[in-house]
Amino acid sequence: MGERAPDGSSKTGKSAKKAVGAEGEPTPAKTATKKAAKKVTKRAAKAAARSAGKPAEKEAAPAARKTAPGKKAASAKKAASAKKTAPAKKAAPSGTVTKKSTPAKKTAPAKKAALSKKAAVAKKVKPADVALPADAAVKKAAPVKKIAVRPPGGESPTALVRRARRINRELAEVYPYAHPELDFENPFQLLVATVLSAQTTDLRVNQTTPALFARYPTPEDLAAANPEEVEQILRPCGFFRAKTRSVIGLSKSLVENFGGEVPGRLEDLVTLPGVGRKTAFVVLGNAYGRPGITVDTHFQRLVRRWQWTDETDPDKIEAAVGALFPKSEWTDLSHHVIWHGRRICHARKPACGACPIAPLCPAYGEGETDPEKARKLLKYEKGGFPGQRLNPPRAYLDAGGKPAPPLGAA
């Protein structure tokens, strides 16, 4: 039987079914919300695909079609979370890179160590502002700097230079005829005589060399000489065996390396047997006119007594004293100091009472200060005694000097 409607009309089963179906169909409002949800999910999927790449867009579209509205919303949430986690995924490769670059970090200390070594080398090579050598221009004027900074006796560098130069001027007036006290006629004879003067007096050498040069006048002759015959001639000079080897050896070197001529350079002269800086400067200054300081025993004693320097090494004394005077005065300075040491300022008993530079000498009073007693200590021309040379220059003879007697004279 059919059902009765509220208004009293009756409906058949088919119509009832239609009515029920009409009630079960979604309303227009519901369909609108479904469409809006679909649009939102599509937009979210597109945004996620853009952030993840095009392949993700293709994969997201079918998923959006199959999922229900609730599932679509969940996928939208997942896409949103994917946006947030994407930077973390991108950071992961950077983490792997850092792992690979760890060896570079380990090698960094090695690079720093290499740089520090280079810096240390640079510090060593860099010339410091500190004055070197005294300490190093002891290879090139270092001792000069040392003396200039710390002169002996607490004297200022300027005062020391003035006093030293005044002493040299006073000695030049006392000994205007100062000259090398070895007899020679050429550079070869001066070279041999200077080598023979070690550990003996110039007078003894001057008395010995006439016989030597008469028999062996040239380097070629002395190079081919019989050593035993040369020893007999040089016996009065002392250490005759060693000196014989030296004069024959230097003669051979002159013949073989310098054509039988005495070289005029310091570097060449010091290569000869028995020739040092002192001997080389004697030859250069007196045979070739090239300035040099001759640091013999008299020179060493006086410059320390006058407190020009407190050095004891001959090379350092040469550098220190050379810094006090112009180079042009070095040769004459050597003559003045050596002459004064032989005649007045003796090693054991200086004649202080007869010394012309007593007011300038810090060591005044070490010797005899009484003028009369001091005069009795004078030697050579100042005391009326013969000099060192058998054939002295005319200026020396004119000044009252006497030539030395030959060997064996009474």
Instruction: Give CA separation, 342 vs 230, 254, 281, in Å.
Output: 30, 33, 20
Contacts of 231 (CB under 8 A, 6+ apart): 240, 241, 244
Choice among 146, 278, 316, 382 that is catalytic:
278
**Which residue, among 244, 240, 215, has the nearest Cα to 227 in the 3D structure?**
244
Nearest to 143 by CA among 288, 301, 322: 322
- The one catalytic residue in 11, 252, 296, 315 is 296
Q: Known catalytic residue: 296?
A: yes
Pairwise CA distance, residues 180 & 288, whole Å: 13
Active site residue 278: yes
Active site members: 278, 296
